[in-house]
Amino acid sequence: MILTVTLNTALDLTYRVPALTPHASHRITEVTERPGGKGVNVARVLAALGHEVTVTGFTGGATGRTVQDLLTATPGLVDALVPVAGPTRRTIALVDDRTGDTTQLNEPGPTITPAEWSAFQEAYEDLLAPASAVALCGSLPPGVPVGAYAGLIRLAKAAGVPVLLDTSGEPLRRGVAARPDLVKPNTEELAELTGSHDPLRGAQDARRRGARSVVASLGTNGLLAVTPEGRWHATPPARLHGNPTGAGDSAAAGLLSGLTEQLPWPQRLARAVALSAATVLAPVAGEFDRGAYEELLGRVAVTGEVSAA
């Protein structure tokens, strides 16, 4: 079982409009809702790849109940969300059909009390026992300590469970110091962490700060991996046009599935890039086009070198 942690779960709403115009009224042509938050997105892709996945984090209010109903209806996912008093947030993606661009509106999430945070940590420790890997993803809701991910990483390492961390800002800085097995920042997050705007130097610095392996998302230029085994750059076969919402989460799912399957790094990266690209091409934000994924997988270019023994 793979465990994904989404402390700031959400109900994702996607609205499509013919054209998005500021200060104007819009007629929505299509509405899609699904359980969201980065770790939930990762879990959905992992389940679609055939993995057993347990989803944990917080849930509250009517929105939280909707999220849980949608999770229960998703094959391969087990709901282990921890109830809280505050309502689960909503995120709204406004898709402009004319340009394909997406405007994102994200609520902050419920305020978590100290008692609720303690209850979550107890549940998390219990869930680690059967886990083969854990993904810690996304922002922290109000009330959760900024060092939360660092503490969760230490608990996972004590249980012998490998950890992927995908967050930003101070939670990323503190989390990296706790020595996760893999971090997956984008170029902006990596620059904020290390002060370097060169992805290779930034990834090397992030490893010196504690991360065992670093996979930097380069947007349309693919992924850069710096690991103890070597360094590689994986790129999609062509520049793709579509909705990038959730593409980074699909990449994280590809990396985590490759880790649990013990694939060589070039295969992990090819899977991650193909999943990310197939998510951009999918008609619904955050899903991936399976046909596109299977077609792209063999066309991802991976270059690099193995470290000397």
Distance between CA 66 and CA 86 in Å, rounded?
Answer: 14
Q: Which residue has the tokens 């902006």?
A: 188
Q: How many CA atoms lie within 13 A of 200 on its CB side?
A: 5
* Kind plus residue range of the DSSP H or E element containing 183: strand 182-183
Is residue 69 among the annotated active site residues? no
Catalytic residue among 12, 181, 249, 289: 249
**8 Å CB contact between 71 and 35:** yes
How many C-beta neighbours within 10 Å does residue 308 have?
5
SS3 268: helix
Distance between CA 88 and CA 78 in Å, rounded?
Answer: 18
Distance between CA 40 and CA 114 in Å, rounded?
Answer: 23
**Virtual torsion, Cα 220, 222, 224, 225, nearest 10 deg:** 150
| SS3 letters across 29-74 | CEEEEEEECHHHHHHHHHHHCCCCEEEEEEECHHHHHHHHHHHHCC
Distance between CA 205 and CA 225 in Å, rounded?
Answer: 13
Q: Which residue has the tokens 């070597």?
A: 230
* Kind plus residue range of the DSSP H or E element containing 144: none
Q: Which two tokens stand for residue 286?
A: 């955050």
The residues annotated with a catalytic role in the active site are 249
